[in-house]
Amino acid sequence: MGDAAILVEDLGKTFGEIVALDGVDLAVPEGTVLGLLGPNGAGKTTAVRILTTILRPDRGRAAVLGHDVATDPDGVRNVIGLAGQFAAVDGNLTGRENLRLVGRLTHQRKAVVGPRADELLERFGLSDAADRTVRTYSGGMRRRLDLAAALVHKPPVLFLDEPTTGLDPRGRNDLWAVIGELVADGMTLLLTTQYLEEAERLADRIMVIDGGTVIAEGTAEELKHRLGNTIIEVRLADAGASQAARARLEAVGAAEVLDDGRTVALTVGDAGRAVLEVVRTLDSAGLTPEWLTVREPTLDDVFLQLTGHKAAPGAGEGEAPPTGRGRRGRRGAP
């Protein structure tokens, strides 16, 4: 693991009777992005807190650029930046003052702190608001300032704990663009998120975590291929028609009626042949679909299959990608 910027072995942490982390291993190569994906309470934030020296692990080992969190916490602190879901900036200070404060507290020379703060304000589109107190900022502006504060000392490794949770779609897109630039610059990034789209968009590799353990790991593509199949969805006029269709379509692939009662989802291997069979089957049964779609499985499907429960509430509803029409009711695919 010579190239691992972040290395975690058998990490465990318990709070009273609650097991937050139960033997997590991970390695993030330098210059890559790992997305830690999981629902609330999965253990993502605990992992970040341990890696940023805020919490001590009960067992296991965690190191950043070779600095062990237990034996050399200041060494870790010097090479990391942390931006969190709580937007930890001081509302009583201006944006500029917040960045200078962090600059001084990270022991940067005075002469570099001012220009560095200005540079970050400019880069994150906060120059106009630089001298306003942060309490007047919008949620998106606060998050950008929080991220800027994590970068004042130019850390080579960055931790983002649910960076866009609670942001509106525009704020989320703005922040994604900013994070994308950091990634393009070669920063090593560990990102936690409840949003499947966020992990897919920003991360090189994704680790799905639930109940304090890693339940899957891979690229977004690899995770999707775990389902190994294409999904065909057919919507019919009513519940009766959909049941009739499902019964007949079982011959083509694993078929299931979704929560809306009218859509039949079919998991198939050979998409082209299957579409023809579906059309033929429906036609011969006298069933005319309202529409028919063919799609690749999304991370939502993967998550559902792996964990047996849905991804974060809200992750696919309204704010996230327009790919999610009502398929969330489907239970584990074959």
Partner 1 sequence: MTSTAPAEVTSTLEHRSKLGWAVQDALTVAQRNLVALFRVPTTLVFSTVQPVIFVLMFRYVFGGSITVPGFRYVDYLMAGIFVQTVTFGSINTGIGLAEDLSKGLIERFRSLAMARSAVLAGRTLADAVRNVIVIVLMVSVGFLVGFRVHTNVASFLGAVLLMVLFGFAMSWVMALIGLSTGNAEAAQAAAFPMMAVLVFASNAFVSTRRMPGPLRAYAEHQPVTAAVDGVRALLNGGPLAGKVLGSAAWSLAIVAVFAPLAVRRYRRAA
Q: Compute how many other C-beta atoms are within 10 angstroms of the C-beta atom of residue 16.
A: 5
Asked if residue 93 binds partner 1 (CB under 8 A), the reply is: yes
SS3 state at 279 = helix
- Give the shortest CB-265-to-partner 1 separation in angstroms: 41
Residue 291 dihedral angles phi and psi, to the nearest 5°: -155, 170
- Give the shortest CB-135-to-partner 1 separation in angstroms: 9
Q: Are 202 and 176 in contact (CB under 8 A)?
A: yes
Number of amino acids touching partner 1 (CB under 8 A): 45
Please select the residue that binds partner 1; options are 55, 179, 183, 266, rule is CB under 8 A. Answer: 55
Tokens of 221: 């593509």
Report the residue number, 93 or 294, with the smaller CB distance to partner 1: 93
Asked if residue 2 binds partner 1 (CB under 8 A), the reply is: yes
Strand partners, 194: none
Asked if residue 102 binds partner 1 (CB under 8 A), the reply is: yes
Report the residue number, 88 or 271, with the smaller CB distance to partner 1: 88
DSSP 298: P
Asked if residue 105 binds partner 1 (CB under 8 A), the reply is: yes
Please select the residue that binds partner 1; options are 9, 19, 70, 101, rule is CB under 8 A. Answer: 101
- Give the shortest CB-102-to-partner 1 separation in angstroms: 7
Each residue 69-88 as x (binds partner 1 by CB under 8 A) or -, in order, gives -----x--xxxx-x-x-xxx
Region near partner 1 per CB under 8 A, out of 93-101, 249-257, 286-294, 309-317: 93-101
> β-strands 67-68, 4-15: how paired?
unpaired
> β-strands 157-161, 59-64: how paired?
unpaired
Q: What is the dihedral of CA 303, 330, 198, 210, to 10 degrees?
A: -30
Report the residue number, 149 or 258, with the smaller CB distance to partner 1: 149
Surface-to-core class of residue 93, CB atoms within 10 Å of its CB (0-12 exposed, 13-18 middle, 19+ buried)? middle
Q: In what order do the strands lie in the sheet with 188-193?
A: 80-83, 157-161, 188-193, 33-37, 205-210, 213-218
Tokens of 84: 């969190």
Report the residue number, 142 or 246, with the smaller CB distance to partner 1: 142
Rounded (5°) CA angle 132-136-137: 90
Please select the residue that binds partner 1; options are 54, 215, 271, 285, rule is CB under 8 A. Answer: 54
Report the residue number, 3 or 221, with the smaller CB distance to partner 1: 3
Sign of the dihedral through C-alpha 57, 58, 62, 66: positive
By CB under 8 A, the residues from 151 to 180 that bind partner 1 are: 153-156
Binding site for partner 1 (CB under 8 A): 2-5, 30, 49, 52-55, 65-66, 74, 77-80, 82, 84, 86-93, 97, 101-102, 104-110, 112, 116, 133, 149, 153-156
